[in-house]
A and B are shown apart, each in its own frame.
Chain A
């Protein structure tokens, strides 16, 4: 007889292990975030974010974001006739942001503006930049980091930490971080880090396995 009960139990154990692995992966990124903030006097954050693919990013150029600020109440109408944001193709990335150069307000003030739209705006302004691609795994490990053309599978916590070290040591990533660090800081903006910058993945995690 087929042992479905055994498979059912095994599935529950796998789910528990996946949860544990994802928590462990989160802890690595929290540590990365902490250390980068410390090293940059709380200027730069490095987190996992869903970003639009290059093609759909170009589509977004048809959208006038400046108008969102002025006319956020009529956002839905304004959005009509432009390319649909829902159709954007997103990918997971490890992204860095200069949070002190950021005066793009978050969704809490304008609930109609989604985190994704804010990220596109930040990307266009050059205050948010992709450092590497991130490919999560349903079981947590092996997760995958793609630096340039190089694909690194991370089989465990130490493997992930080493891949992130390699990412930070990469000359292209280094140059990107340098560019972000040298951005001018707008005067009116305080040092408060927006919710999107600190923990953008909290909601993303709920919907997928990033």
Chain B
């Protein structure tokens, strides 16, 4: 049994503010159909969407046996702009989506939306945290808020874990506006690139997106298609135009502590044809699968 997860920042409505045209919404609907119906993905989280966008998606996409969780909760002058669609025959949503916020002084930070599932057929709990964190423009890399976001997300992950020092079945996904190597992100969240260490230390999280920091194919003289060099294309970038801001992070539980394992071969960036002026983020995907023990 496999469970596949996709995160896509659609760029339709940042901070939930409607700005998309009908044509752009239709492009997103086509993508949602491809992801859910052709690729048969089990969980699709969407970012930068509004209530209106969701209405269009629900009306125009083929969503038989697909459940959803959206809560555009207001946060100060902004609001949450993330939500998800999921396959009901694979996952059971056990609690409503929970928007989580942290208030520090006069600042409000949107940490994540938490969705709690059980995996159908094996009664296993699964906690998914969907995040869309502020851009570097509003929250620079050196900002204390960036550390606070990671510290708090880490706390929330620990809160849903059954034992101290051992993280449960947790998947974090979203647009963190941080690279996997940023200290404020990797160190505070304890999301490592070292999967051997993550297997030894069940309090660590494993971030497979360390391996997606550059172009997937090595350079060669006869190359015609370069592909993507990250998950986010930033056309005015001076040193690089590519960033790996969109990531899916797995708890150590999926690295050999249970029968459910990360399938890292099936983890990466969906290289889609698109207009990079509007849709500047690529979807990212990850898969976990149940492996029969041979012992």
Contact = CB atoms under 8 A, between A and B. Distances in A.
Contact of A162 (B97, B108, B111): B108
Contacts of A159: 102-105
A153 B73 CA distance: 15
Nearest to B106: A158
B96 interface: yes
Contacts of A162: 103, 106, 108
A160 interface: yes
Contacts of A154: 103
Interface string A137-149: 0000010000001
B101 A152 contact: yes
Interface residues of B, number: 17
B119 interface: no
A156 interface: yes
A162 B111 CA distance: 17
B106 A150 contact: no
A125 B106 CA distance: 38
Contact of A156 (B97, B104, B111): B104
Contact of B73 (A150, A155, A158, A160): A150
Contacts, number: 48
A135 to B, nearest CB: 10
B174 interface: no
Nearest to A145: B103
A151 B98 contact: yes
B105 A150 contact: no
B20 interface: no
Nearest to B104: A155
A149 B104 contact: no
A12 to B, nearest CB: 24
Contacts of B108: 162
Nearest to A160: B103
B102 A152 contact: yes
A156 B105 contact: yes
B71 A152 contact: no
Nearest to B101: A152
Nearest to A162: B103
A127 interface: no
A124 to B, nearest CB: 26
B213 to A, nearest CB: 31
29 contacts: A142-B102, A149-B71, A149-B73, A150-B73, A150-B99, A150-B100, A150-B101, A151-B98, A151-B100, A151-B101, A152-B100, A152-B102, A153-B100, A153-B101, A153-B102, A153-B103, A154-B103, A155-B103, A155-B105, A155-B148, A156-B104, A156-B105, A158-B103, A158-B104, A158-B105, A159-B102, A159-B105, A162-B103, A162-B108
Given A154-B103, A163-B103, 7 more contacts: A149-B99, A150-B71, A151-B98, A153-B152, A155-B102, A159-B103, A162-B108
